[in-house]
Amino acid sequence: MILGNIIGKANTKEFKFLVKGNARKFEYVQVMHRDNYYVLAQILEIEKDLEQEIAICGIIGFRDNKKLKPLNIPLEIGSEVLYAQDDFVKEVLGLIEEKGAYIGVVDGRENIKVFLDINKMLTKHLSVIAKTGTGKSFFSGVIVEELIDKNVPILIIDPHGEYSSLKEASKEIEELNKFGIKAKGYLNKIQEFSPDISINREAKPLKLNNKNLSATELIHLLPAKLSNAQKTGLYAALRNVQGNLDFNSVVFALEQEESSVKWTLMSVIEYIQKLNLFSDSYTRPLELIKPGTATIINLKGIDPEVQEVVVYKLVKDLFEERKKGNIPPFFLLIEETHNFVPERGFGEAKSSGILRQISSEGRKFGLGVGFVSQRAAKVDKNVLSQCGTQVIFKITNPNDIKAVVNSVEGITMHTENEISNIPIGTAMITGVVDLPLFVKIRARKTKHGGEAIKIFDEEREEEKNLEEEIKEFTREVLPLVKPSFSSKDFKIINNVEPEVVLVPCLFLTCEKNKNEFNILIDLAKGRIITNTDSGEGVDISFQDLNLSNSQRRIFDIALTMDEFKPGELFAKSQVNFSEVYDVILNLANKGIFVKVGDKYRLNDKLTMYSRLEKYACYKNMDYDNAVYDKKLEKKFQTSEIINFLNKFFNIKEEKECFLVRYV
């Protein structure tokens, strides 16, 4: 298809043509060179007045012996400018080999797929820059899907808990069909860790290495900026530490010091100890870095200072292990990069130094990094400049645009002006070919977790039957625990429209022997829920346990034992033997203790409560839009349950919520 003819002056980099056909900005065109080969060019701008329409084109080049070459001789004036054929565009841009990470199609060319070189990502890094809501987290999810499918280990620093949705398959079947892919969930390929599982309940606890800390590293791990006097005082205390250096030994050493700064230092150290983040039984590197597995470090709800400490220690230890060859090459994806390695004028994070180091040295050891941010101007410019592939979505802040232009090669004046006009779902990508490439990002195989919660629906169907209108009146934003299947899944399996029932529940975060677990209690039926899909559980009752101080002491010891003799309780309690014996008889008369031969034990119900961790709930609770048919009445009081269960373990947090059931 002829689009026009070259006019005016032409050089080896640009030309203009008088538009006769349908031309659009950034369209690819081809022109026959006088040496009898086609040259590929791209429309960079279109100018129009009352009489004519002129397109300004940037010359990309031609292929010769599989190499992309520039022009040495300008194109002839008057030459026909043709709509470039898909195969020719693919050949010149080097997009023929369909291997690597499939990320989408060339904008306006649905038949030309775009793939990112995975080896390049692992050796030359990746940056994803975008204004909030324009697609950066969506695109990052696409990258994670591709890397999982290619068996590449991934570690994701997730400050907002957006990546857990990778476990679930997308419901956008029509969009997936457009890109020739199928929905897929990665439930068995995703593992999630968090420093605080009371907030991120589906995650495993993340424990950082507490062994062999150097004095410098220990100071760096404190979530506070120390004054020179405090640093001097801390170093003085550290000189007196014998053996392994850890937080306990530092507190002990500080207690021996006479300096007044020790109290502030001890307070900071006690704060980080209470986080229960560092441990001798730490999360092992090989547990975090596994081929074909994406490990999410969920930092949702964690204080920013603590997030910096977690990222610093985790990345530092993994980088050391990678340099030693103890873990496989892996890809590190960091969301909200500006918080973890800010440009020097915006402060310094605990994690800044190690991230600058791996951005410059990681490629030597097969550690690739994806830096994702909504504020390019606040990200360390040297880190951005180290990225061989840049994915740029719509940006409107002038400072961010300037930061991108200064750190990314190949951006021309025309593409710079276009950054603020990029449509949502489309990205300008550099590093794939020798010039910026506009790519329509493919649909996600998995559910996208970066969308904001809609408290009110923006769209409402024009026609609703009576049943739907009734449901509309019962729509609320509530704390929910959802089953593993949707109402649509229920309808398909059972061939009947489900009734949505909300069951009032109590979500408890419990601690026993320094281990945390969650339990979910049905407040309508008085049971510990063991299956969130069916609502099944174990019935509970609250036996009267009004105990005296001596009875309480004996009872607490008995909780730690399966069976016991009076002499065993006497040895552990240090209470007078006759008093111990009297307490045992009284508790046996109340039915709290049961005699078995010459020994005693707790009754069956109390034994269940003392081992409640085996009924742990691994579902997450979150606020969401709830449309329901029925809400059950609460028949058990929260305070009654908490007062009773507190006798068996420490309840760190309690939240009332609703279990969603389809019946």
Per-residue pLDDT of 117-163, as tens digits, reads: 888 888 889 999 998 888 889 999 999 999 999 999 999 999 999 99
- Per-residue confidence band for 241, with pLDDT thresholds at 50, 70 and 90: confident
Residue type, 415: T
- Torsion angle, alpha carbons of 338, 342, 345, 347, to 10: 110
Q: What is the pLDDT of residues 255-312, one digit of tens each?
A: 888 788 888 888 888 888 877 888 878 899 989 998 889 999 999 999 998 999 999 9
Sign of CA dihedral 45, 46, 48, 52: positive
**pTM higher than 0.75:** no
At residue 467 the predicted structure's pLDDT band, cuts being 50, 70 and 90, is very low
Residue 178 has pLDDT above 80, yes or no: yes
Q: What is the pLDDT of residue 19?
A: 95
Residues 410 and 435: beta-carbon distance below 8 Å: yes
User: What string of DSSP letters covers 192-233?
Assistant: EEES-TTTSTTSEEP-EE-SS--HHHHHHHSSSPPPHHHHHH
CA 94 – CA 72 distance, rounded (Å): 21
Of 520, 501, 495, 502, nearest to 510 (Cα)?
A: 520
Give burial (CB, 10 Å; 0-12/13-18/19+) of 187: exposed
Nearest to 296 by CA among 408, 405, 206: 206
- What b-and-e string marks burial along 591-610, b requiring 16 or more CB atoms within 10 Å of the CB? ebbbeeeeebbbeeebebbb
Strand partners, 373: 129
Strands 437-441 and 80-83 turn out to be unpaired
* Sign of the four-CA dihedral 651, 656, 657, 663: positive
How many angstroms separate the CA atoms of 338 and 384, rounded?
Answer: 11
pLDDT tens-place string over residues 543-600: 556 667 777 778 777 777 778 888 887 877 767 778 888 888 888 887 778 888 888 8
Which of the two residues, 488 and 104, has the higher pLDDT score?
Answer: 104
Residue 323 predicted with pLDDT over 50: yes
